[in-house]
Amino acid sequence: MQPTTGTERITDWLRAAGAERPAPVVDAATLDDLREGLDLLARAAAARVPDHLRPLRLTKATIDALLRCPRAGAARLAAADEGPRSGPLLVGALFEQVAHLIVERIVDPEADGPAGTFDRACAALAVASGEDVDHLVGDDARDLLEEQLFERVRRFRSSWRAPLHPAWWYRSEVPFEVAFGDGAAGPAAVLACRVDLSFGPTPPALGSGGRPRLLLELKSGRHDVAHLDDLGLYLLAAALVEGSAPVGGAVWWAAPSTPAPHGVLQTLPADAPTLQSAAVRVGRALEVAADVLGGRVATIPGGHCRFCPDRTVCPAAASSDEFGDAW
């Protein structure tokens, strides 16, 4: 699978990848090397933090925060309740619900229109997570959210043109938990991921098989190549849990501020460079996490400040406006 960028539709990508019946390109020895290296780094990092904070639990958000700004990483590690979702995150959560319903052919946004689509998204989110969005937003906010959601949903619908091939199964919100540095006290660190969509052959009821071959991450906002780093983490996690690398993955962005009628799709092969790059990020994040929890943190302001749990109290966040609207 060759990396691509641009206007390819999700449906075309899946059809081409499925038709190729591709085999993983990363061998078991490479995966063993990656795991061995991360085991060593995880043990070294865990040795620098108090026992009760082990295993160090890294998610894509934690890793991203730790590598952008250690203070943001500290805040993310310590964030219990980040409060109500901001507008972009709320639209993202609603969009994700509608996208699943489109894949399952439960809803038709063109028939429902903006208001109907918004209602269905709210109903889906209420069942999924218990969030009662419909009763939380006022009429003005609702109009804006409806409009923003529908623009994104229309682009996704344009990119997802056909039903999934019957020989393939799709799974949503697939959790992957990878332990590193196992010892008598348990793992030294855990990489925890949750993939929006994974596709693969239908698994049998018992026994092996049916491993995810392609992973797809959906983004309701603007195109940002940093999201490919997240996808790399997912590919690494899936490879280490399953013992066999997926074939590849893609990130789809609604990219609402661009003229792209069906969003932007960028693919990533699950080859050795991709997995090694992801492993390097995990390793660096482990080192910074050990710094943070061991008492050493610096502050680096940037566009990421707007999503930082410490944004209201951190002096550096006040200067982050100059980085513009990242959404």
Partner 1 sequence: MTDDPVVAQLTEGLAAAATGLPPLPAPLPVGADDALRPEACPAHGFAPDGPFRWRATNARRRLGLGVLARLADPPPRPDEDLPDLVAATFDVLRRTARPEDGSLDAWLAGLDTVGTAVLRRAVVAWASGATPQLLPLEPGARIVLGGARTWRPPRGRFVLRAPVDVDANGGTAVVTTGRLGSAAAVRATAGCTALLAHLNGRAPVQVRVVVPGAGRSEVVAVDGMLLADAAAAYERAAATAVAALDGDDRLPRVTGEHCWSCPRRSTCEPGAAWLGERRRVIAETPR
Q: Which residues bind partner 1 (CB under 8 A)?
A: 50, 52-55, 57, 70-71, 74-75, 77-81, 97, 100-101, 104, 106-107, 120, 123-124, 126-130, 169, 171-179, 184-187, 190, 192, 202-207, 210, 241-242, 291-293, 295-299, 310, 313
Beta bridge partners of 201: 168
Q: Which is nearer to partner 1, 174 or 255 (CB)?
A: 174
Residue 159 CB coordination number (10 Å): 25
Alpha carbon distance, N-terminus to C-terminus of the chain = 30
Q: How far is the CB of 261 from partner 1 (least distance, A)?
A: 26
Q: How far is the CB of 274 from partner 1 (least distance, A)?
A: 21
Q: Which is nearer to partner 1, 256 or 294 (CB)?
A: 294
Alpha carbons 290 and 297: distance in angstroms, whole number: 10
Q: How far is the CB of 6 from partner 1 (least distance, A)?
A: 30
- The tokens for 194 are 């949750």
Q: Which is nearer to partner 1, 77 or 250 (CB)?
A: 77
Q: Which is nearer to partner 1, 58 or 145 (CB)?
A: 58
Q: Which is nearer to partner 1, 3 or 186 (CB)?
A: 186
Beta bridge partners of 218: 252
- The tokens for 136 are 């939380």
- The tokens for 22 are 């591709």
Q: Which is nearer to partner 1, 2 or 312 (CB)?
A: 312
Beta bridge partners of 170: 199
How far, in whole angstroms, is CA 154 from its chain's centroid?
21
Q: What's the full length of the chain, in residues?
A: 327
Alpha carbons 24 and 12: distance in angstroms, whole number: 20
Q: How far is the CB of 132 from partner 1 (least distance, A)?
A: 9
Q: How far is the CB of 20 from partner 1 (least distance, A)?
A: 23
Q: How far is the CB of 265 from partner 1 (least distance, A)?
A: 23
Q: Which phi-psi region, left, alpha or beta, contains residue 93 (left: φ > 0; alpha: ψ -120 to 50)? A: alpha
Alpha carbons 244 and 256: distance in angstroms, whole number: 36
